Amino acid sequence: MVGWSDLSADLSDVAALRRISAALPEDAPVVSSTLLRAIATADAIAGPRARLPHEPDLREMNFGAWELRAHAEIEAEDPARIRAFWEEPDAVRPPGGELWSEMAARVEAAALRLLASHPRLVIVAHFGPILSQAARAAGWTGPEIFARRVDPLSVTRIAYGPTRRLAAINHVP
C-alpha cells in the first residue's frame, strides 16, 4: 500500500516514456501530484509541453497505518477489514488514513479547478486518483472500481464536459 510515501519512480524504460509522450496531446500542459514518483514521470514525458505547478490534491490515497505495508501483512492482521476495503472502497477507512470518497472528492475538485483554466490537460497521478476519475466517468461503484487495472506508465483518457466519458483506461502506447 503506497500512498503518501515519497518513493521514486522506475523510469528506466526510456522507450516507453517516449511512446507515452508521443501519444499525448501536444497542446496540453502537464501537471502532477506533489509526490516524487509523479513529478519525475511528468518531467520525463512532458517534452515541449508547458509544466504547471505540482498539485497536492492529486496525491494518492492516504493509507494511514497501512502505508508501506504488504496486502498479505494487513490481511493476516485484519482480514475482514482489508477484504471490505477492496469490496466496497468507501466502507472502510484505513486506520489513520482517508476514505475512498474523501480522496475522490479532493481529486475531483483539483481536476475541475485545473480544467477550468486548461481545457486540455495531461495529469500525472496515481492508481487511486486515476481510478476515482475513471469510476466517475464510467459510473462504476464498489467492487467494479478495484476490478480495473492501472499499470505504471499507462494512459487513461477521460473526456470532460457536459457529460464525462471514459475513452481509455490502462492503455499502453
pLDDT at residue 55, as a whole number: 98
pLDDT, tens digit (0-9, with 9 covering 90-100), for 110-168:
999 999 999 999 999 999 999 999 999 999 988 899 899 999 999 999 999 889 999 99
pTM: 0.94
- pLDDT tens, position by position, 91-111: 899 999 999 999 999 999 999
**pLDDT for 142:** 83
pLDDT for the residue 161: 87
d(CA 79, CA 4): 23
pLDDT computed for residue 83 by the predictor: 93
- For residue 48, count other CB atoms closer than 10 A to its CB: 6
Q: What is the pLDDT of residue 26?
A: 95
Q: What is the pLDDT of residue 33?
A: 98
Q: Over 90: is that where the pLDDT of 80 sits?
A: yes
Whether residue 60 is predicted with pLDDT greater than 90 in this model: the reply is yes
What CATH topology corresponds to 16-59+101-171? Answer: Rossmann fold (3.40.50)
> How far apart are alpha carbons 11 and 130 in whole angstroms?
19
pLDDT band per the 50, 70, 90 thresholds, residue 89: confident
Q: Domain map of the chain by residue range?
A: 16-59+101-171
C-alpha to C-alpha distances, 146 to 3, 26, 42, 87, 170, nearest whole angstrom:
16, 31, 24, 8, 13
